[in-house]
Amino acid sequence: MIGHLRTTCSDFQNQNGTFLTLSPSANDILQRRTHEITKNNFLKIAISFAVRLCIPATWLNDRDQFLYPKDSWAEDREFHSDCLVYTIFNSQNRISCQQGVNHWIPFTEAEVDAQEKFKSHFMSDYIRGKVQAEANDQVQTSFFDESLAQAGGTPLEFSPEARAVMDAGRELWRYYHSQPGAMADAALYDIKMHFQGTKTTRNGRVQMAAESSDARYTELIATLRQRLKVLARKIEPRVYEHGFLRR
């Protein structure tokens, strides 16, 4: 198990309730709002996550319902890799190495000048085609089922938009790993927490601060966010084309 997808209702009004985590709340588990992410279904989870979050919610679409897609999504390899990159670098990906092993690092130690080895190379190995698909002949009953063999064994080919996000992310990771006390297995959430710190709200709740005093980090995260928006706009028409939403 490499994480949990937390979701609520399947419409735009509940987008903020969709996120990835290693530590879902007991209440979310009790109410069955979580889906286990495994090495066999993570790509489907990433696609679903990206589909849910790549289109901004507005008063015009807030009642639109997400649907079970057409079969065409399965053969669209560029769509797969776009969604995976979008998911890895989205702020709603709350995977943290402080809660368990982080399997979502898309880079190798050499790419980001890490001082220690990562505990998991799953994501970078998958991107490079080093993870083989696991065949499974069960009957599929859900989009998140593991019954379809997970794509793998072939290096991913990224679109220019996805490559731009990867490049921005790599620079951010590299800058983080130049900091004293950097955690080898840090996820995006951990990196943001390192630079932005926390603040206490009026009701006493501690949460991540919105800004950082580090000018270089501010520049890097702004570039990443802008490129992620460009990637989101690229994914959006495919969401309708493959039937996840209807116009």
Taking 50 as the pLDDT cut, the residues of the chain under it are 135-141, 147-149
Stated length of the chain: 247
3-state secondary structure the chain: CCEEEECCCCEHHHHHHCEEECCCCHHHHHCCCEEEECCCCHHHHHHHHHHHHCCCCCCCCCCCECCCCCHHHHHCHHHHHHHHHHHHHCCCECCCCCCCCCCCCCCCHHHHCCCCCCCCCHHHHHHCCCCCCCCCCCCCCCCCCCCCCCCCCCCCCCCHHHHHHHHHHHHHHHHHHCCCCCCCCCCHHHHHHHHHCEEECCCCCEEECCCCCCHHHHHHHHHHHHHHHHHHHHHHHHHHHCCCCCC
Per-residue model confidence as pLDDT tens digits over 161-192: 999 999 999 999 999 999 999 999 999 999 99
| Domain extents in the chain | 3-241
Structure confidence at residue 149 (pLDDT): 42
* pLDDT tens for each residue of 202-234: 888 888 999 999 999 999 999 999 999 999 999
Whole-number pLDDT of residue 57:
84
